[in-house]
């Protein structure tokens, strides 16, 4: 079945109890068990609306089971706690700021150590592995520099060594990229972004590629308790139904805007793997079905970046991405504020860098808006 059809028909989109074509919001905390033990007993452990979303994301990603959390970070935190005292995790240097924070500021409390490396450089991964390394976390394309890592190669190599690969698939979504097909063990999402798609819900998802990992993540979801509520689960399911049309339109706009910005004299560099001369272009083309709707660009001066943020008309100037409205972000003080300034600039995240999540406005109007400020 083509992914376009699968986004609407996984078998979990219809309510099994009533046949309703939109699974109802089972706004309930507990389930009466007088007669016989029902499938559900308490909504932290399981809720029919959440279960429908969990089944849908598992099937879209090609995994064994899905788990819905109250935020992307709650999903990432639960997955991190699959590891414990003495374990070591590798992650990209330019990983999302919240993931950087959990690894660098919280994992030490549980005895988990980490190293940040450039995961686009396969040799660096090989060199960084320690005897106690248990997992490699990947983000491809990365945030905010849109760097592409070789997922099939890394996953295959990790599998041979018994390492678990965790891929944050937020930027691509299963519509464009399905890491489990390449051998990844776990996929995580900030469903707040393209899956929800309307900037109206904070949610996280994890998908396990094996039964054993599914049991462990399920245990942690119930134990830690950071579950997604039924109303928010319903909103994410509704978002998924229009994912294809939103993503198709937004990524066409992203390409047009990236091409135009790349020619502008006040733009130093555009980071977008959809551009044929981007270093990640060919690799992303080989492992994904599109280039996504997020691009970053570095202006000639930080002052120009600040002016753009205050004067731009259409995009929201905000954290987050993947909404129907375009969102302009300033990584230095937003998504990557928890990365120390020297490390940020070593990574190439300068104070003149802006990230644009292209929404569903006309790309021509967005360009006119951006160019008016730049000029
Ligand atoms: C790539 C990526 N992963 C994870 C997260 C965290 O998700 P949430 O904000 O839903 O907790 C974000 C948030 O921006 C993100 O961009």
Concatenated DSSP letters of 102-145:
IIIIIGGGGT-EEEEE-TTSHHHHHHH--TTEEEEEEESS-TTT
Longest dimension (CA), the chain: 73
Specify whether the CB–CB gap between 136 and 154 falls below 8 A: yes
Which residue did the predictor score with more confidence, 140 or 375?
140
Give the distance, in angstroms, between the CA of residue 106 and the centroid of all CA atoms in the same chain.
20
Pocket of ligand 1 (CB under 6 A): 71-73, 96, 98, 139, 143, 168, 170, 190, 192, 202, 204, 335
- pLDDT at position 344 is 85
- pLDDT at position 200 is 98
**In the chain, what percentage of residues exceed pLDDT 70?**
100
Check pLDDT > 90 for residue 339: no
Torsion on CA atoms 316, 320, 68, 324, rounded to nearest 10: 40
Check pLDDT > 70 for residue 86: yes
pLDDT band of 337, cuts 50, 70, 90:
confident
What does the pLDDT average to over 357-362?
98
- Per-residue pLDDT tens over the stretch 142-174: 989 999 999 999 999 999 999 999 999 999 999
Q: What are phi and psi of 224, to 5 degrees?
A: -80, -35
How far apart are alpha carbons 209 and 88 in whole angstroms? 21
Check pLDDT > 80 for residue 329: yes
Q: What are phi and psi of 119, to 5 degrees?
A: -75, -5
CA-proximal residue: ligand 1, atom 6 (nearest): 72
Check pLDDT > 90 for residue 335: no
- Per-residue pLDDT tens over the stretch 15-51: 999 999 999 999 999 999 887 767 899 999 999 999 9
Check pLDDT > 90 for residue 91: yes
Q: Which mutation among 168, 190, 197 tests ligand 1's pocket best, with the greatest number of atoms within 8 A of CB? A: 190
Catalytic residues: 44, 96, 168, 193
pTM above 0.75, yes or no: yes
Q: How far is CA 217 from CA 164, 184, 275, 318, in A?
A: 13, 15, 38, 32
Specify whether the CB–CB gap between 87 and 112 falls below 8 A: yes
Return the CATH architecture of domain 3-241. 3-Layer(aba) Sandwich (3.40)
Q: Please identify, by atom number, the ligand 1 atom nearest to the C-alpha of residue 143.
A: 1
What are the residue ranges spanned by the domains of the chain? 3-241, 244-374
**In the chain, what percentage of residues exceed pLDDT 90?**
91
pLDDT, averaged across the chain: 96
Please provide the CATH number assigned to the domain covering 244-374. 3.90.1150.10
pLDDT band of 110, cuts 50, 70, 90:
very high
Span from the CA of 181 to the centroid of ligand 1 (angstroms): 22
What does the pLDDT average to over 55-64?
98
CA-proximal residue: ligand 1, atom 12 (nearest): 190
Per CATH, 3-241 and 244-374 having the same topology is answered no
| Angle of helix 230-241 versus helix 243-262 axis, rounded to 10 | 70
- pLDDT at position 36 is 73
Owner of token pair 């245990």: 219
- pLDDT at position 37 is 66
- Per-residue pLDDT tens over the stretch 199-245: 999 999 999 999 999 999 999 999 999 999 999 999 999 999 999 99
How far apart are alpha carbons 354 and 87 in whole angstroms? 35
Span from the CA of 76 to the centroid of ligand 1 (angstroms): 9
What does the pLDDT average to over 244-252?
98
Q: How far is CA 354 from CA 142, 145, 168, 250, 363, in A?
A: 14, 10, 21, 18, 17
- Per-residue pLDDT tens over the stretch 298-319: 999 999 999 999 999 999 999 9
Q: Which mutation among 70, 98, 321 tests ligand 1's pocket best, with the greatest number of atoms within 8 A of CB? A: 98
- pLDDT at position 115 is 96
């Amino acid at each position: 079945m083509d992914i376009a059809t699968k986004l609407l028909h996984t078998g979990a989109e219809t309510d099994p109890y009533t046949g309703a074509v939109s699974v109802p919001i089972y706004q309930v905390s507990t389930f009466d068990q007088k007669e016989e033990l029902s499938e559900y007993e308490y909504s932290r452990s399981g809720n029919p609306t959440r279960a429908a979303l969990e089944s849908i994301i598992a099937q879209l990603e090609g995994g064994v089971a899905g788990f819905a959390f109250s935020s992307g970070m709650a999903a990432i935190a639960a997955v991190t706690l699959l590891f414990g005292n003495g374990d070591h995790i590798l992650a990209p240097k330019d990983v999302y700021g919240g993931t950087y924070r959990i690894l660098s500021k919280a994992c030490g409390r549980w005895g988990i150590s980490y190293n940040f490396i450039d995961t686009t450089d396969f040799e660096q991964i090989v060199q960084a592995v320690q005897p106690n390394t248990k997992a490699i976390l990947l983000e491809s394309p990365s945030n905010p520099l849109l760097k592409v890592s070789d997922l099939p190669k890394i996953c295959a190599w990790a599998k041979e060594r018994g390492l678990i690969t965790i891929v944050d698939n937020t930027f691509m979504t299963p519509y464009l990229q399905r890491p489990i097909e390449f051998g990844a063990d776990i996929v995580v999402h900030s469903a707040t972004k393209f899956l929800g798609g309307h900037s109206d819900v904070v949610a996280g998802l994890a998908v396990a590629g094996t039964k054993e990992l599914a049991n462990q993540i399920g245990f942690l979801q119930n134990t830690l308790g950071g579950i997604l509520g039924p109303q928010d689960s319903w909103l994410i399911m509704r978002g998924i139904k229009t994912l294809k049309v939103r993503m198709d339109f937004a990524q066409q706009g992203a390409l047009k805007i990236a091409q135009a910005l790349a020619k502008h004299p006040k733009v130093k560099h555009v980071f977008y793997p959809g551009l044929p001369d981007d270093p990640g272009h060919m690799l992303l083309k080989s492992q994904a079905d599109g280039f996504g709707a997020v691009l970053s660009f570095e202006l000639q001066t930080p002052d120009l970046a600040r002016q753009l943020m205050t004067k731009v008309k259409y995009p929201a100037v905000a954290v987050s991405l993947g909404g129907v409205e375009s969102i302009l972000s300033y990584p230095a003080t937003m998504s990557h504020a928890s990365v120390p300034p020297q490390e940020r600039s070593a990574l190439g995240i300068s104070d003149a860098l802006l990230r644009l999540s292209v929404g569903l406005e006309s790309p021509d109007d967005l360009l006119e808006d951006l160019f008016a400020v730049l000029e």
